[in-house]
Amino acid sequence: MDTESALSIIESRNEIEVLYQDSPVWIQSVNGDIARIRDLKTGDEREVLVRDLIRPDYKGH
């Protein structure tokens, strides 16, 4: 995923599926090429590279 896509997801009113290492995550914020995410299964928060996030229903990740 690119930074522009991640920012669009944050601003969207819709819930958009995003995965990090095959786990569903919520993007909390984006700063440059770093995203702060929360794992929806475990609740763990971390910072990851935006390019490592995947939107499975979108062909242009």
* pTM for this model (two decimals): 0.89
Query: What is the architecture, at CATH level 2, of domain 3-54?
Result: Roll (2.30)
Report pLDDT for 57. 81
Q: Is the pLDDT of residue 61 over 50?
A: no
- SS3 for 10-24 is HHCCCCCCCEECCEE
Rounded Cα–Cα distance for residues 31 and 49 (Å): 10
Q: pLDDT confidence of 60, banded at 50, 70, 90? A: low
pLDDT given at position 59: 65
pLDDT digits (tens, 9 = 90+) for 4-45: 999 999 999 999 999 999 999 999 999 999 999 999 999 999
